[in-house]
Structure 1
């Protein structure tokens, strides 16, 4: 692999597991100095990435993290907003309370807005930088039975990301979105186990049902985290210097529209 990111500082939120961890590894292999953040320290006692514990749904912790980065590493060149998820119950609209909606919005939209607000002034000053928002195919193809609030928050993230690109691309900052479909991670496994338990079905059946709710997966399998990371690695590289304002749907062919 070309070391095309040597000299670049990259921050990956939610970067200790799943897609975020794969992205951190990919950018590190390309030569970037990688900083990862999450609410809790990873189980591994040793990691080659610099780790900062922070809950990005809390403004004060976001500011503290950015100040630490500025003091130790200077400004950020690459920001990958991977943090997200949902703790809302399945059961459709009637199962969601105000607290569920607020939690989904904080995790999947406001956390990205908050960290972008802290990092963008540095990028504007340098007239360069790349911001990637990790969204979800549910942002355009919602699964209302179990991910209603999450899907709405991701749809908002998509719109926000496009708006940000229109405002800041003229100032030298590229902004793009990556929307994975089903990805084989520990989080996905836990989600499928939860669905199986509440529906009294097998893991295999709920997996097939979820695939069907997305219109099927022509490739016949979930993505691997490394496959998402490869796209992100390209998008933040000089090879993608003319790419901004787009949403890449990586779902194995599920989405029925162009």
Structure 2
């Protein structure tokens, strides 16, 4: 794993942090993108501070911070929250869960494509043949979302809102599965003890503490999941399986019924239309 260059988008807490530290401990050079860095003393990890809920920051990553997907062997998207009980909106007019957990991933990939297409020579001498993208969410859960109301402006439900992010992330993988410039995969970690539910339950609330206690008692810790999934992320034979999804045991799982390529393409089109309507494209 020495000399692998890896970006973890949202790697400052929970699963992203555990994966970043695991990869760094095995010799990979890891750059973490997020808001709060807790691992300044960890070897092989660099940090770029960015609020991933704002699309203007995503575009700045490419223009001002020279973020280029083709510079990395692996890019792992892990940033995510759970929708709040009452609708929250970013300063850019986007529902916060959708912006943080899905739209930033789509925008960063789409805006990076022109750069990828202009740099074919960078494929030579790579540890993997082309950049490898991993999208973490809950693919295969049977969620199709509400593409005609992605921003939840017609009526709000925290569950329905969050399922838009679940469906949206699966749609991203399916939409880009045939892309010639990178390979892309979906990760479903299942239930893991993290702080992702704090936005809904309330940070440090008794409800959150009790729920996370039982999740931690029954299911995997972030570190246990990272140890299982790291061999998959770095498997040199994985490129042939672009567009597939993997569970918490790093085993292939089927896509959600109904989330076809046609459906995914429409979901992505609706996502772009939403960003354009807010002047964020």
Structure 1 length-normalised TM: 0.70
Between the aligned partners of 1:138 and 1:194, the Cα distance in structure 2 is 28
**1:246 correspondence with 2:244:** yes
Cα offset, 1:121, TM superposition: 4.1
Shift in Å, 1:137 = 5.9
Residue 21 of structure 1: CA displacement? 0.8
Task: Give the equivalent residue in structure 2 for 1:185.
Answer: 194
CA distance 1:181–1:22, shift in 2 (3 Å): same
**Alignment match of 1:203 (pick from 192, 206, 210):** 210
CA distance in 2 between partners of 1:66 and 1:133 (Å): 19
1:220-231 equivalence runs, <5 A: 221-229=218-226, 230-231=228-229
Unaligned 5+ runs, structure 2? 124-129, 145-155, 258-281
Residues 63 and 8 from structure 1, CA distance in 2 versus in 1: closer, same or farther, beyond 3 angstroms?
A: farther
Aligned-partner Cα distance in 1 for 2:58–2:89: 24
Q: Spell out the pairing of 1:83-94 with structure 2 (5 A cutoff).
A: 83-89=79-85
CA 1:183–1:251: 2 relative to 1, 3 Å: farther
Q: 1:164 aligns with which of 153, 159, 176?
A: 176
Q: CA–CA distance in 2 between the matches of 1:179 and 1:50?
A: 26
Compute the displacement of 1:109 (Å).
Answer: 1.4
The 1:177/1:232 distance shift into structure 2, 3 A limit, reads farther
Instruction: Tell me the SS of whatever aligns to 1:165.
Output: coil
Q: Please tell me whether the aligned partners of residues 179 and 249 of structure 1 are also in contact (alpha carbons under 8 angstroms).
A: yes
Assess if the C-alpha contact under 8 Å between 1:22 and 1:225 holds in 2: yes
Query: Which runs of structure 2 are paired with 1:104-115 in the superposition (5 Å)?
Result: 104-115=97-108
Cα distance between partner residues in 2 of 1:97 and 1:72: 31
The 5 Å alignment of 1:53-202 reads 53-67=49-63, 70=66, 75-89=71-85, 96=87, 102-124=95-117, 125=119, 126-127=122-123, 128-136=130-138, 139-140=141-142, 147-166=159-178, 168=179, 171-188=180-197, 190=198, 194=202
Taking a change above 3 Å as real, the CA distance of residues 182 and 176 of structure 1, as seen in their structure-2 partners, is same
Distance in 2 (CA, whole Å) between partners of 1:187 and 1:51 is 21
Moved more, 48-57 or 68-77: 68-77
Report the CA distance shift for 1:162/1:228 in structure 2 as closer, same or farther (over 3 A).
farther
Q: Which structure dedicates a bigger proportion of its chain to helix? A: 1
Quick one: distance in 1 between partners of 2:203 and 2:59? 36
Equivalent in the alignment of 2:265: none
- Aligned residue-pair number: 229
Do the aligned residues in 2 keep the contact of 1:135 with 1:180 (CA within 8 Å)? yes
Query: Partner residue of 1:42?
Result: 37
Match of 2:14 in 1: 18
C-alpha distance 234-207 of structure 1, shift in aligned 2 (>3 A): same
Aligned residue in 1 for 2:267? none
Deviations 1:50-70 (A, max 9, x none): 101112232332233335664
**Structure 1 stretches of 5 or more lacking a match?**
90-94, 212-219
